[in-house]
Structure formats: C-alpha cells, structure tokens
Amino acid sequence: VQVSFRLNGSWVSVEVEPGELLLDTLRLKLGIRSVKRGCERGECGACTVLLNGEPVVSCLLLTVQVEGMDVTTVEGLRSDPLFRALAEEFVKSFSIQCGYCTPAMILTIYAYVKKVYEGRKGISTEDIAKAIEGNICRCGTYPRVIKAVASLLNKMPELLPTLKS
C-alpha cells in the first residue's frame, strides 16, 4: 500500500505492508532513529511521535492510519525555539541520563507546553507529572524533568512569541 503523509513538514510517500507499524516505517524506511522501540505494547512511551500535534505511541498505530496527516519527531524541531529552550532546560537539569526516553519525553512536553499556552492545561508540579505519566524513564529522571519543565514554564513570557508562530 502506498501511504503519503507529512513528516517533519515535508510530504513523504512510502510503500508499506497493510499491517505495518508507524514505528517500523519511521525507523526502518525513513531513517527516523529518535523514535525508540521499547515495550511495543503502548506502555512505555518511547515510540511517541506527534500526530497532528498530539502525542501518540507509534507502536500502536498502523502507517496506513496516518495517510494525509502531520507526523512530527524531534528531527523536525531542531530549529524550533520552544524545542531548543526545552532541550536547554533538559541539559541544565541533567534530565538526560541514558537518553533513551528523551526524544519521546521532549515531544510529550512540547505538546503539553503548547496546551498550557492555550489555557488547556495547568502548570502545577502535579500537572507536569500528569503530562509525562505515559513516558517511562528507566533512569528515574522524573524529578529532574519536572524541574526542567517548571523552569521552562517560568520563562513563558519569553516563549510566547515562539508559541504564537
């Protein structure tokens, strides 16, 4: 089956098996290695991508289901100011240990911060913890990640122009 979708802002067209997982198409056919294979059961969040801006696990999604949709991975956010600010907070707070969960964690937080800006999410420690509850970090960096996100949210006034674009 031929499937076309927007990957990190550019249209791609790829031949897939009807039952092929988006995780496999991204990693094995499209060279997107930031999307990690973990549990393959929708439980660890390592394979998270943004689908039309919403975090979803790509191990539970068939590639044929994303026809015509927008798929974003961290490869597509390299020059995005919000992504860069978030990555900087991760480095400063030592939130990256082995790094296996990091790209997915960052995508989830990226979507969360946009919702905060739109007034659809709160900014308490509990809200941040809830936002990342689907992303398992085997290195146990959760307190550091929460600190990084809280620090980022404190800079919201600086980030607003970024979020508006």
* Among positions 29, 40, 75, 151, the unique one binding ligand FES when judged by CB under 6 A: 40
Q: How many CB atoms lie within 10 A of CB 165?
A: 7
Say if CB 2 and CB 15 are below 8 A apart.
yes
Does 57 interact with ligand FES (rule: CB under 6 A)?
yes
Does 37 interact with ligand FES (rule: CB under 6 A)?
yes
Does 71 interact with ligand FES (rule: CB under 6 A)?
no
* Among positions 1, 15, 33, 43, the unique one binding ligand FES when judged by CB under 6 A: 43
Does 47 interact with ligand FES (rule: CB under 6 A)?
yes
* Among positions 3, 30, 45, 131, the unique one binding ligand FES when judged by CB under 6 A: 45
Does 87 interact with ligand FES (rule: CB under 6 A)?
no
Torsion of CA 139, 144, 149, 155, to 10 degrees: -150
Say if CB 109 and CB 123 are below 8 A apart.
no
Cβ burial, residue 137 (10 Å; 0-12/13-18/19+):
buried
* Among positions 123, 129, 139, 163, the unique one binding ligand FES when judged by CB under 6 A: 139
Scanning 6-14, 74-82, 134-142, 146-154 for contacts with ligand FES by CB under 6 A, the matching segment is: 134-142
User: Which residues, numbered 90-109, are part of the site for ligand FES (CB under 6 A)?
Assistant: 96-102
Of 65, 75, 70, 67, nearest in space to 52 by CA: 70
